[in-house]
A and B are shown apart, each in its own frame.
Chain A
Amino acid sequence: MKGLREAGHTAEHADNGRDGLFLAASENFDAIILDRMLPGGIDGLRLLETLRAQDNATPVVFLSALGQVDDRVKGLKAGGDDYLIKPFAFAELLARVEALTRRGKSDGPTTRLAVGDLEMDLLSRSVRRGVQKIDLQPREFRLLEYLMRHAGQVVTRTMLLEGVWDYHFDPQTNVIDVHVSRLRQKIDKPFELPLLHTVRNAGYMLRAEEV
């Protein structure tokens, strides 16, 4: 709560399933963070199913100590948009919630992405910065696309692993750092203003202005 407010969000809190369902149904939130196991007769899954049955499409992040693959699948099947296992780093939660709220807002299919003078054409799969064309490997393209779609937000290494490589665990090697630094070589190195920033203890962020 405190962390969310400090990050500039307005947050409301319900400490049992019944109140949570009432709150979620009566107000229009950008995102809901939901625990699987709740007191008050309605658990997280039931709450979400009820909500979805009422055509409420608010993005939902599950937060749970139930960490088995089955639990995760159950949560996503019930209509959850993301599933985070306790214990978690707050930066991870914040990044994921912000990614979801963004996704909720811009749903239309885009063909062009732009951050500062960096432009990406999704149809011709080409990237240019200013007037200079940048050649990217297919995977680098997807990595940059992911970062650009979440421009201005913190993107964690785990999010990149899941979103770009479809990895659902953390490898011991810093594979993501290596790939991000290679991408940085290509999009930032020859230019004056860096776009791809490292956020300490959290991940990366692509943005035009200075952090």
Chain B
Amino acid sequence: MNLPAPPNFGVQAEPRALAPGRRKRQHRSRPLIRSAGVRFALAYAVVFGVSAFALAFSIWYSTLDLLQRQVEVDIRNDALVLDEHYQLGGLPSLIAAIHDRLTDVTQSDGIYLLEDALGNRLIGNLDTWPNGLNQVNTWYELPVTRDHQSSVALLRAYSLPGGGELLVGRDVTARDKLRNVLRDGLLWALGLMFALGILGAFLVRSLFRRMMRDISTTTRAIARGDLARRIPLTGDGDEFDELATIINDMLDRISRLMDGVRQVSNAIAHDLRTPITRARTRLEDASLHAHSAEDLQSAIERATLDLDGIVGVFEALLRIAEIEAGSRRAAFAPIDLAPMLHDMDELYRAVAEERGLTLETRIEPRLPLLGDRDLVQQAVANLLDNALKFTEPGTVIGFTARLEEAVIEIAITDRGPGIAEPDRARATERFFRAESARSTAGSGLGLALVAAVAQLHNGTLLLADNDPGLRAVITLPARSS
């Protein structure tokens, strides 16, 4: 019944979709059912229509049922009273009672017919026994001729103990009329409801479209390159606001990443351009001004060292990118960090002693981890490298690893210059170098790699003040045994 509705929508929806440019073509070629707005509207109309139909049908059905039963009860009671008359006063009393009823103007819809055993009409307002009525004690609804007028009656026949049959009935023409009025009324109401349903669907669809418009115009603008655009919030706190907030958060994250990439590419341009220029100048200078083979040799060697440095930076960058991509998580294995850390302690202890530093190491005997051994090793090595690089002779470097409440904590502390409070947050950015560290050799990628490794293992890198010096702590979730 409500199926013709959708095509109507479509025809009306079409002019709205005719926006300028490429969209026009897209919308035209897209089947209407593929439009979410139309689908929602359709679903709305169907649900509304079905419920309206169910309501109307149940009203119609229960009303008619009630009327029918009322008539039946009326006929039964009438027949009982007439039966009493017959029991008490025999046939004459019955005839008199029927006569009373026939002459009573307040009961104009009563139908009676009394026949004797031979089929002779004794009294009643029907001229003949109705056609088709051939069983007693059964309900019939038949056309009858009463006072020369055709009508429809609900009838029931009773046989009399002394022979003969009594027919009691009610004219139901009025009931049929009521039924028709009711049906017409309900049909009209249904029609109206469908019209309202269509209107409602339309409303839902346009509401939906308006909600979507903010999102789609914003995302389209972003796709064109206007990354500063954000979806305006209505302030209602509804689902669309929620969606808009999520999308805005995502856009913020994307623009932060883009900033990061931009910053990294700038840094690459700067950090690599400098050594490349240096190597180039050295070679050029040597080719123009070298006086001896030794001069040339040393220039070439130094340029090679510069190039090695560039390769090192490249490798570190690629490695960080590889770690951040998370692909190495597939190769995670259960490992115990303790032996590995002892090896590192042994490897670095010699260097520390060589430089007049003391390495104070405390490593707990069991440090279970699900992770990548090489990466954790490199992260710890970077921190130890840093500690050695920035510390004056005669001081102590702390190297501790412990397991506490399912968290492995590897801490490396030094008494060097540390990292100034405002720089700490940026220290893990690629190529970031604190003012105090500019004079020291390094690429500014070490801590970035440590942070990436920690993050890969769902851990963190914390940089804190060791008062004086730096306290770098890697926390990694331990493997539960």
Residues of A within 8 A of B (CB): 67-70, 85, 87, 89, 139, 165-175, 178-179, 182, 201
Are A139 and B442 in contact, CB atoms less than 8 angstroms apart?
no
Are A172 and B351 in contact, CB atoms less than 8 angstroms apart?
no
Given contacts A173-B348, A173-B351, contact A69 B377 (CB under 8 A): no
Are A175 and B308 in contact, CB atoms less than 8 angstroms apart?
no
- Give A138 Cβ to nearest chain B Cβ, in Å: 9
What is the CA–CA distance of A69 and B312 in the complex, to the nearest angstrom?
16
Q: Give the residues from 333 to 352 in chain B that come closer than 8 angstroms, CB to CB, to chain A.
A: 343, 346-348, 350-351
Are B385 and A172 in contact, CB atoms less than 8 angstroms apart?
yes
Contact flags (1/0) for B370-391 with A, using CB distance below 8 Å? 0000100110011011001100
- Give B358 Cβ to nearest chain A Cβ, in Å: 15
Would you list 18 pairs from A and B whose C-beta atoms are within 8 A, ordered by A residue? Answer: A68-B318, A139-B346, A165-B343, A167-B381, A169-B319, A169-B381, A170-B312, A171-B381, A171-B385, A172-B382, A172-B385, A172-B389, A172-B441, A172-B446, A173-B388, A175-B347, A175-B350, A179-B350
- Give B59 Cβ to nearest chain A Cβ, in Å: 72
Are A178 and B351 in contact, CB atoms less than 8 angstroms apart?
yes
What is the CA–CA distance of A168 and B388 in the complex, to the nearest angstrom?
20
B405 contacts A by Cβ under 8 Å: no
Residues of A within 8 A of B327 (CB): 70
- Give A199 Cβ to nearest chain B Cβ, in Å: 14
B328 contacts A by Cβ under 8 Å: yes
The contact size tier of chain B is: 20 to 34
Residues of B within 8 A of A165 (CB): 343, 347
B interface SS class: helix
Top 10 nearest A-B pairs (CB, nearest first) are A172-B385, A178-B351, A178-B350, A173-B385, A171-B381, A178-B354, A169-B378, A168-B374, A175-B347, A175-B351
Are A67 and B348 in contact, CB atoms less than 8 angstroms apart?
no
Residues of B within 8 A of A167 (CB): 377, 381
- For A169, give its contact among B328, B350, B374 (CB under 8 Å): B374
B105 contacts A by Cβ under 8 Å: no
- Give B367 Cβ to nearest chain A Cβ, in Å: 17
Q: Give the residues from 354 to 369 in chain B that come closer than 8 angstroms, CB to CB, to chain A.
A: 354
- Give B110 Cβ to nearest chain A Cβ, in Å: 99
What is the CA–CA distance of A68 and B446 in the complex, to the nearest angstrom?
18
Closest B-chain residue to A69, C-beta based?
B328
Residues of B within 8 A of A68 (CB): 318, 322
- Give A186 Cβ to nearest chain B Cβ, in Å: 13
Residues of B within 8 A of A (CB): 301, 304, 307-308, 311-312, 315, 318-319, 322, 327-328, 331, 343, 346-348, 350-351, 354, 374, 377-378, 381-382, 384-385, 388-389, 441-442, 446
Residues of B within 8 A of A175 (CB): 347-348, 350-351
- For B308, give its contact among A69, A89, A168, A171 (CB under 8 Å): A89
Are B350 and A172 in contact, CB atoms less than 8 angstroms apart?
no
What is the CA–CA distance of A18 and B319 in the complex, to the nearest angstrom?
33
Closest A-chain residue to B331, C-beta based?
A69
Residues of B within 8 A of A174 (CB): 351
What is the CA–CA distance of A168 and B331 in the complex, to the nearest angstrom?
16
- For A179, give its contact among B308, B315, B347 (CB under 8 Å): B347
Closest A-chain residue to B442, C-beta based?
A172
Closest A-chain residue to B378, C-beta based?
A169
Which of A167, A168, A169 has the most CB atoms of chain B within a 10 A radius of its CB?
Answer: A169
- For A69, give its contact among B307, B322, B348 (CB under 8 Å): B322
Residues of A within 8 A of B350 (CB): 175, 178-179, 182
Residues of B within 8 A of A201 (CB): 301, 304
Beyond contacts A171-B381, A172-B382, A172-B442: 13 other A-B pairs, Cβ-Cβ < 8 A, are A68-B322, A69-B322, A85-B315, A166-B343, A168-B374, A172-B441, A173-B384, A173-B385, A173-B388, A174-B351, A175-B347, A179-B347, A182-B350
Residues of A within 8 A of B389 (CB): 172-173
Which of B319, B348, B350, B374 has the most CB atoms of chain A within a 10 A radius of its CB?
Answer: B350
- Give B301 Cβ to nearest chain A Cβ, in Å: 7
- Give A202 Cβ to nearest chain B Cβ, in Å: 12
- Give B478 Cβ to nearest chain A Cβ, in Å: 22
Given contacts A171-B381, A179-B350, contact A87 B322 (CB under 8 A): no
Are A67 and B318 in contact, CB atoms less than 8 angstroms apart?
yes
What is the CA–CA distance of A182 and B347 in the complex, to the nearest angstrom?
12
What is the CA–CA distance of A77 and B385 in the complex, to the nearest angstrom?
32
Residues of B within 8 A of A89 (CB): 308
Residues of B within 8 A of A168 (CB): 374
Closest A-chain residue to B348, C-beta based?
A175
What is the CA–CA distance of A54 and B343 in the complex, to the nearest angstrom?
41
Given contacts A171-B385, A173-B348, A175-B347, contact A87 B311 (CB under 8 A): yes
What is the CA–CA distance of A89 and B304 in the complex, to the nearest angstrom?
9
What is the CA–CA distance of A171 and B351 in the complex, to the nearest angstrom?
12
What is the CA–CA distance of A182 and B351 in the complex, to the nearest angstrom?
10
Given contacts A139-B346, A169-B374, A173-B348, contact A67 B315 (CB under 8 A): yes
Closest A-chain residue to B340, C-beta based?
A166
What is the CA–CA distance of A169 and B382 in the complex, to the nearest angstrom?
11
Closest A-chain residue to B449, C-beta based?
A169
Residues of A within 8 A of B328 (CB): 69
- Give A164 Cβ to nearest chain B Cβ, in Å: 9
Closest B-chain residue to A176, C-beta based?
B347
- Give A133 Cβ to nearest chain B Cβ, in Å: 22
What is the CA–CA distance of A85 and B312 in the complex, to the nearest angstrom?
12
Closest A-chain residue to B386, C-beta based?
A172
What is the CA–CA distance of A201 and B389 in the complex, to the nearest angstrom?
22
- Give A27 Cβ to nearest chain B Cβ, in Å: 34
Residues of A within 8 A of B354 (CB): 178
Residues of A within 8 A of B318 (CB): 67-68
- Give A90 Cβ to nearest chain B Cβ, in Å: 10
What is the CA–CA distance of A166 and B377 in the complex, to the nearest angstrom?
10
- Give B311 Cβ to nearest chain A Cβ, in Å: 6
What is the CA–CA distance of A173 and B343 in the complex, to the nearest angstrom?
16
- Give B177 Cβ to nearest chain A Cβ, in Å: 87
